[in-house]
Structure 1
């Protein structure tokens, strides 16, 4: 892990859906010399048991906290770790774990979505993209440029490597600059830098999925995500300062770089990755009923609409980074 990701600064995340918050017992009060280890076990901690685990006075750093689907590793004091993604159907909600040094908290994303699948009619029932002002922020943002690598191990053979890298880079630009058809100006998000290919892996477990301790690089990679997920992003931050981000893109049959003429149950690769860059830059889901926005948790198939930001997506990015005049 890089020095940026281990710097122990006080951090606190305030978002809807607080699940657990408890004061940590000082180490001096936990056990007397020679007493039996009061902290047995190293398995995942269910959210419902987190308060009791913290009251035990045991160090939870490195332990996974889980809601039964998503797992996030408890970071060092002063740091928060969050995971969020986008899917084709089902439940898509994020999870954030914050370690302030005296408190460990787990927070579920209250603006996620539960759906059996999106159709054209669902988008027709939502406000047009350039009329929908809905936006939600995760809290942190980048103070300096986001520098990232791409790991193509696990990329399906049906997808061309050069085109995939090109669309990952374009998707970053879509979100970073605020590409839109609503007449809004270019954003002033700090410049990103593509650093090329890498063998380093995103510190994301595909099963679940899970966010782990982080590594020294920001990496976009590929893996077999569960439950209809198209992409998943984990990010590490100190208070309002984003420190790192990894992204895992599903390598199943759903994503394509070119939508077929007679499209059925295929999702746009560039639009999906644009959504995931939104999480990496600090955007949360827009919530149900906003199906024409890029940051809707469930994307509609057979459309490239998510490549361009809706008004609410642009407003959210503008709140964090401002725009050019």
Structure 2
């Protein structure tokens, strides 16, 4: 099981617990996990040494993987960081998790509240756009789609909820991959929990992935305008969370122009499209 959340202050913490099919238990505190800047797709950590991933909890047995909570440092600071970071099309940094969707990611939308006050119909297309950005390597850098991950399919509305509690922790899975809005830990914009089947010798097989946006504490928008203030673009954040579902991990440091940067930027649509590192990370998995 793994948990990743986008937090407001950008601080991160990580923990991974794995139970193998032979009963052997192993864990990784994840205190110095680094992003991979290799263009060859290997997962070897380099010297970038970004901060740990907030609420990153991975348990690779029955396979629950929750993505670290997405965070924001505030619009002004974030824009300064973005200006000081390499351009999205020149930054090849990425980090890949030990999971992969080998089949089709079938997903549902909960029947409760949704970010940006969206209707159920609007949410279908907004979340589809976010998932398609990942599965189709949508970018403005001229990279062709070489990612064999055209595997996301919306099924229906459901009375089930994302299996994530108010502390941004994964709960027992219910068998449905559900996207919804709800109450998360203060300081967390969104959390993704993913469960995987242990698959020896290759990346673990995605079994279920739930996404929850923190509509209790934060405001979202699907229409970022020049008058936007203190709101998070739901499609940008959704694309980031979709990246976690398909095996990408958060990156930190001076990489804030990439979609998988672990601190959300308010009133910005930058993360709707992938950067070089995001594309290379997906190519390393698929």
TM-score (normalised: structure 2): 0.78
- Which residue of the partner structure matches residue 196 of structure 1? 156
- Which residue of the partner structure matches residue 245 of structure 1? 209
Contact 1:126 1:289 in 2 (8 A): yes
Contact 1:92 1:298 in 2 (8 A): no
- Which residue of the partner structure matches residue 24 of structure 2? 102
Task: Show structure 1 runs of 4+ deviating over 6 A.
Answer: none
- Which residue of the partner structure matches residue 233 of structure 2? 268
- Which residue of the partner structure matches residue 176 of structure 1? 135
- Which residue of the partner structure matches residue 9 of structure 2? 89
- Could you say what secondary structure the match of 2:190 adopts? strand
Instruction: Measure the CA separation in 2 of the matches of 1:94 and 1:272.
Output: 20
Instruction: Measure the CA separation in 2 of the matches of 1:223 and 1:289.
Output: 31
Instruction: Measure the CA separation in 1 of the matches of 2:159 and 2:29.
Output: 32
**Within 5 A, what are the aligned runs for 1:1-325?**
81-100=1-20, 101-108=23-30, 110=33, 111=50, 112=52, 116-117=73-74, 118-155=77-114, 158-186=117-145, 187-207=147-167, 209-237=168-196, 238-239=198-199, 240=203, 241-252=205-216, 253-321=218-286
Instruction: Measure the CA separation in 1 of the matches of 2:252 and 2:219.
Output: 23
Pairwise CA distance, 1:259: 1.6
1:255-314 deviations in whole A, cap 9, x for unaligned?
Answer: 111124312221100000100011111100122210000000101111101000010001
- Could you say what secondary structure the match of 1:205 adopts? coil
Instruction: Measure the CA separation in 2 of the matches of 1:280 and 1:179.
Output: 16
Range with greater deviation from structure 2 (135-144 or 237-246): 237-246
The change in CA–CA distance for 1:294 and 1:285 in structure 2 (over 3 A counts) is: same
Contact 1:218 1:244 in 2 (8 A): yes
Contact 2:104 2:151 in 1 (8 A): yes
Aligned CA RMSD, in angstroms, stands at 2.0
- Could you say what secondary structure the match of 1:119 adopts? helix
The change in CA–CA distance for 1:154 and 1:93 in structure 2 (over 3 A counts) is: farther
Instruction: Measure the CA separation in 2 of the matches of 1:261 and 1:124.
Output: 18
1:206-254 deviations in whole A, cap 9, x for unaligned?
Answer: 22x1112312111112111223222111111224222221111111332
The change in CA–CA distance for 1:255 and 1:157 in structure 2 (over 3 A counts) is: closer
> How many aligned residue pairs are there?
240
Task: Select the structure with the greater relative contact order (CA < 8 A; seq sep ≥ 6).
Answer: 2
- Which segments of 5 or more consecutive residues in structure 1 lack a partner in the other structure? 1-80
- Could you say what secondary structure the match of 2:282 adopts? helix
Larger C-alpha radius of gyration, 1 or 2? 1
The change in CA–CA distance for 1:312 and 1:188 in structure 2 (over 3 A counts) is: same
Pairwise CA distance, 1:205: 1.1
Contact 1:86 1:275 in 2 (8 A): no
The change in CA–CA distance for 1:116 and 1:256 in structure 2 (over 3 A counts) is: closer
TM-score (normalised: structure 1): 0.69
